[in-house]
Structures are given as structure tokens and as C-alpha cells.
Chain A
Amino acid sequence: MKPVRSLVVAMAVLVIFSSVLHAAEEYTFDISETQKKPYHLGGYVEFRPVLSGLDQNAALYNLRFYNRNEGRTVSEYNAALQLEGSIEKGPAKLFVRMNVGYQDSYLGSTLTTAAYEAFLSLRPAPSLMVDAGKRTFKWGKGYAWNPVAFVDRPKNPDEPDLNIEGFIAASADYIRSFSGPLKTLSVTPVLVPVSERMNDDFGESGHLNAAGKVYLLLYDTDIDFLFLSGGSRTSRYGLDFSRNITTNLEVHGEYARIDDFKQSLIASNGSTRQTVSGVTNWLLGLRYLTEKDTTCILEYYRNGTGYTEKELADYLAFVHSAHDSYLSSGSAALLQKAAAMAESYGKPNAGRSYVYLRVSQKEPFDILYWTPAATAIINAEDKSYSISPEISYTGITNIELRLKGTILAGNRLSEFGEKQNNVRVELLARYYF
């Protein structure tokens, strides 16, 4: 706790110090501030220490810590540098976003470097754009989940606003505007090549995958029709929408159908099987803003590719019995079998049915630049949940500070009840340049 306490004190000092350093001065607007350079370099650097309380009775704790004793808490120190750069000349633009991450934890220190995006964009006209390179597409209208994000990596619902790494693809955007109920129509074809050296984590190699999106602004409603052809992944198609019902109430939804989805299952006795079937993922949500600037986001997510309550419970029960076997025989074979399935069973929101609720209050009691919020993710089948209260401060230009806690709870053999942590505290300090 000492490092986190020190950082909280540092955060408070920074805030108080900045309020003393103000200067009452005349406002000016230098024209040179509006000059556009042909290049841009920017990004942010962040420091994020995390303290986690371990649930030593949880199945996933036993899976990860069966042969080590880290005590009741583990800490990790994360630092990241995200660099963005672009060069423009006429209708062409080259954009690169790099992420360098450093982590120091009980597992040791790691340094990772990844090009999240690097692509060339040509814009011969406002109605036509062509891109080629590594990029994200961010399809979908959902906040925490996006069933229709067919050509992106899944995002973390705990941090849905974080950048994610893209895939190498070629795409185009063709836009038309109209008067009348249909105000906008745009078509976005996408090609994603997959080989052993390119996009190898997209799916099966040796395919050129076609995807596309058609967007309409029709009767003041955003509507998308999306598809991904079969190849590296099984074929899938879907739609999404977003509309303001009243000025302060927005509703949105997504629907995706995935053909021939393969799922590996493990029973509580360790026997495995695989199923192949068409599945449906869908999401329905709303965002509501009150007069007092309270924002509420509520979403329900039906994850057809996820595990039912019984299937998850079977896996977690197997982990427990594998751990018992290790304690009695010293053999970790069953635990290793369980660990091989952890990538699918242990991923964020591996279950079938979820509710997401986020409530944030901008500048309560007119205290400028402070925003408290709380986020709850509930597994609607086994009723386990995580709750994350947080508070952020943006009163210092180009600096973002956030203190966030997470509590995970649930019954035995429930998703959140069997996570390796039951509590987590995190401090984020980010500087933009």
C-alpha cells in the first residue's frame, strides 16, 4: 500500500500546487497558433501503478499461483508511451501510432513495442478516401461491447476508450449526401489479407478476407449494415443503429450473426468436446443525460459465443479439482490442461449474458474538472459482478489523473467470484504532448 499511498499524496500535491500557480492575465489569441504544419507529432506518456488483492480461494488464483506464494496482494507498475505522428502532402497522409509499454510485476519486467496503426491515406475528394496499412475500424455503436466489430480485436469493457492494435488492411470510404430523409450514405469495403507473416492472429492464414459496411443517416438515425466473408474467420453479418429519442436520451443496438462458430468446452471431470454452430450476439443500450450533467450508460449484451452459467461453472469446478489433485499428488498435469483453456474461459466477459451500467457526474457541486464515476458489469446468469468507482481530475492542461478501484464478487463457481483478484486499486497519471 505504501507506493500507492505515496502516489495519491503526490496527486493531491500536484492538484493543490497547480491551483496556487494560476495567474490572472488578459486573454490573447496569437494567429500563429492557427498555422497548420505539414507534420504532427504528439501522444502521451502515462504511469499506472496497480495494487491487487488476491482471492486465495478462487479457481483462477489456484490456476496461476499454484506453485508460487505472492502473499495476499500483488503490485504492478505500468508505464506507457504512445506516440502519434503524421505527414501530409496534398491529398496524401501517412499516419503512425506506436505504443511502448513497460510492466514490472511479480512475473518480472517486460517491455513491449507495437505499432497500433500505420497507414497511408489518400483523399482525392471529400466523398472518397482510400486507406492501406495497419489500422482499426471501430465498427459498432455499443459502448462496452461491439458484436459487429468484425475486423477489430476485442476491446476491454473495463477500459473501452483505450486504443487497440489494428490489422493490416486496405479500405475505402465513398460518401454521398442528400437532402430528404436519407441525409448520408457511405460505403466502406475492406480487404484483410492473412498469412503466416501478416495478420496471423486474425485467423486461419492463406486467405484474403472481404468485409464491408454500409452506413445510412436515415430519419435522423445512424444505421450500419456490416459483413465479413468466410475465410480466416467464419462468415458473419450484422447491423447496428443509434438514435436520439429525446434530446438527452440516446438508444443504440447491435446484432451480429456468426456462422459455424467453433467453441471448445471442458466438463467438470476434465473431458473436452468441441461444438460448431451458428450463434447470435446482440446488444441493446441507452445513454441518458440529466440536467445536472449526470450521464448514465446502460447496456445489455447477449454473447452467443460465450459460455453458459453451467459451462463456466464446469470449467471452474475442474480447476478446483485439478488444484486439489496437485496438492495431493504434486502433479500439475490437470492444472496445465485447465491453463490451456484459460485463454477462452478466462478472457474478459466469457459468459453468455451481461449488464453494463456506468454513471458519471461531471463537476459535482460545481467543483470544476472533477468527474466521479462508477461502473458495474454484471453477469446476468450467475449474478456475479464487478464494481469500479473512480474519480478523475482534468484541471491541469494536458494532464489527466484518475484513481480507480474495482471490487469483484460472486458465488462459488461464478465468473467474477472465481477471478484471481477480489479487489484492485489503480492510479493513472497521463501527460499529453
Chain B
Amino acid sequence: MCSRLLKKVCWTFLSSRLVSMVILLVLIAWVVPAAAIDGTELLKQVDRNLNPESYESYRKLINIEPDGRKKEFTLFTVKKGRDKVASLFVAPASEKGRSTLRLGDNMWFYIPNVGKPIRITSLQSVVGGVFNNADILQLDYAEEYTVEKLEEQGQEYLLHLKAKTKTVAYDRIRLWAGKEKKLPTKIECLTEAGMLIKTLYFKDVKDFGGGIVRPAVIETDSPLYKDYKSVILVAKTRARDFKDEVFTLTFMPNLESLR
């Protein structure tokens, strides 16, 4: 009888300890999951999943007004490494031949009629609408931002990003990325004070071939442009290497030769 009682006491004790340990483990897993994930590495993964480090792609930018009217621009974009991006307008006819170039913190805009590039800033927009030059000549997020905080929200990670320098278009960014594919689903661009400038929604994940599986549609809206919307449609993205000389002022009038 004593041994039965002892066994019962031991079992009760062990059970309660086991339950406590399980509860503790669940709590630890719930409260501190991010400690196992490096935010910077996650951001780099998101960048690589969006695009190869060096690539070419065709994109269509569509500015949509509240009454449904739209203006479309087709761009051919090439990127190499950390800080070299160039875009060439392919359509419409009034924009054809115009190009933009980004080399580090320098940005230029080339109009064939003018015949020489002029310096522009990331906050300007050569296409109008909600998108600006920083959106068109996008570098890797890990290149321009540091990760201040990483949270888990259900099936998504939420990265709180801070601009590395004052030349970056947005002081702060909140980036939601799916846990499974590590692709962005939503990005909020904010001022230093936390005011929302615009929101980008990443949709319609497609396989572009060559291992590139990424959103094909990016919609943007902004409280600063109420009821206006801008959309980027991505097509024909592929990894491609380029000579550094492609990303120079002197080569800008010849970007068409890369197509």
C-alpha cells in the first residue's frame, strides 16, 4: 500500500513537472522564436528570392487615377551587384529611349532629345504617380537598410528596417515576408517620425524560370495620393551578368543595345 501511495505521489509529481516543462517550452518557443533567426540574413534571403544579384527584367508601370484612367510605361531594367541599376523606357513612344542610371548614391536621367544625362534624386519620379525613382531603381533592401527588429506574426515575419544613410528614399520600412517562401507580401514605407508614405503589396507569385519564383504584381497606394494607385507588372526576369562599364554615364545612350 505504501509503495502504491509512493508511486502515486511520484507519478503526480512527475506529471506536474512534465506538464510544467511542456508549458515552459511552449512559452519559450512562442516568446523567443526570433532569437534563432538572424534578421539581416533573412532580409538578404528576401532580396535574393526577389531577384538574382545581377539580372535583367521587363516591367510595366501603370499609374491609375481615381476615375480609372491609366498611363503605362514599359521598362527594361538591368542590375549588377550591390549598387548598379539602369532602366530604359521601351514604351510609350513619348518616353522611348529615356533611361535612368543608379551607381551607388548617384542617379541620372537621360532624355535622347536633350542628349546628356542630368542628375536626379531618389525622391523624384520620372514617371509620375505613386512610384518614385527609388522604386524604379531599386537596390537590395539589405544594401540600404539595417534590421532594427524582427517579429513573427502568424505565417509571416515582420522586419522593421532603418535606412543606413540620409540618401535612402525612405527613412523606415516595415516589411512583411512569408515564412515559407521568404518573399515580401507587404511593405510600408515611412518617414523617420513613422508617418506612412506608401504601401506596396506583392501579389501573384509566379515561376519565371531559372529558379526565380517571385511576385509578378506589385500594387502601391499612398495616403498622400488618395484614390490613386500605381502597379508594377514584372515579366521576363532572368539572371544575367554585365560588365561594370554598362553602368556608366557614357554608356547610357547605348542601353538599348543590351536588349
Give every chain A residue within 8 A of B236 (Cβ-Cβ).
31, 34
Is the Cβ of A31 less than 8 Å from the Cβ of B235?
yes
Is the Cβ of A126 less than 8 Å from the Cβ of B246?
yes
- Write the nearest CB–CB distance from B118 to chain A, whole angstroms: 8
One of A189-197, A214-222, A339-347 contacting the partner: A214-222
- Write the nearest CB–CB distance from B155 to chain A, whole angstroms: 28
Q: Say yes or no: is B33 at the interface (Cβ < 8 Å to chain A).
A: no
A93 CA to B93 CA in the complex, in Å? 20
Which one of A127, A217, A368 lies within 8 Å of B249 (CB-CB)?
A: A217
Interface string of A130-150 (1 = CB under 8 A from B): 000000111111000000000
User: In the complex, what residue of chain B is closest to A162 when comparing beta carbons?
Assistant: B113
Interface string of B157-181 (1 = CB under 8 A from A): 0000000001100000000000000
* A window 203-251: CB within 8 A of B: 215, 217, 220, 222, 242-244, 247-248, 250
Count of chain B residues with a beta carbon within 8 Å of a chain A beta carbon: 58
Is the Cβ of B65 less than 8 Å from the Cβ of A398?
no
A293 CA to B125 CA in the complex, in Å? 9
Give every chain A residue within 8 A of B104 (Cβ-Cβ).
183, 220
* B window 237-259: CB within 8 A of A: 242-251, 254, 256-257, 259
Which one of B106, B118, B167 lies within 8 Å of A217 (CB-CB)?
A: B106
A12 CA to B113 CA in the complex, in Å? 27
A257 CA to B156 CA in the complex, in Å? 63
Which one of B65, B74, B243 lies within 8 Å of A33 (CB-CB)?
A: B74
Q: Say yes or no: is A123 at the interface (Cβ < 8 Å to chain B).
A: yes
Is the Cβ of A42 less than 8 Å from the Cβ of B124?
no
Give every chain B residue within 8 A of A126 (Cβ-Cβ).
242-243, 245-246, 251, 254
Give every chain A residue within 8 A of B249 (Cβ-Cβ).
184, 186, 215, 217, 222
A432 CA to B93 CA in the complex, in Å? 6
Which one of A27, A34, A244, A363 lies within 8 Å of B90 (CB-CB)?
A: A34
One of A61-69, A102-110, A170-178 contacting the partner: A170-178
A175 CA to B101 CA in the complex, in Å? 16
User: In the complex, what residue of chain B is closest to A139 when comparing beta carbons?
Assistant: B116
Q: Say yes or no: is B233 at the interface (Cβ < 8 Å to chain A).
A: yes
Is the Cβ of A432 less than 8 Å from the Cβ of B92?
yes
Is the Cβ of A27 less than 8 Å from the Cβ of B70?
yes
Q: 8 smallest A-B Cβ distances: which pairs?
A: A24-B68, A138-B115, A177-B244, A432-B94, A22-B69, A29-B233, A432-B93, A186-B250
Chain B interfacial positions (CB closer than 8 Å to A):
58, 60, 62-65, 67-72, 74, 76, 90-94, 96, 103-106, 111, 113-116, 118-119, 121-124, 128, 166-167, 225, 228, 231, 233, 235-236, 242-251, 254, 256-257, 259
Q: Would you mind naming 12 contact pairs between A and B with Cβ atoms under 8 Å apart? A: A22-B70, A29-B60, A93-B257, A123-B254, A123-B257, A184-B248, A247-B123, A247-B167, A363-B128, A368-B65, A397-B92, A433-B93
Chain A interfacial positions (CB closer than 8 Å to B):
19, 22-25, 27-29, 31, 33-34, 36, 42, 44, 88, 93, 121, 123, 125-127, 129, 136-141, 160-163, 173, 175-177, 183-184, 186, 188, 215, 217, 220, 222, 242-244, 247-248, 250, 287, 289, 291, 293, 362-363, 366, 368-369, 394-395, 397-400, 432-433
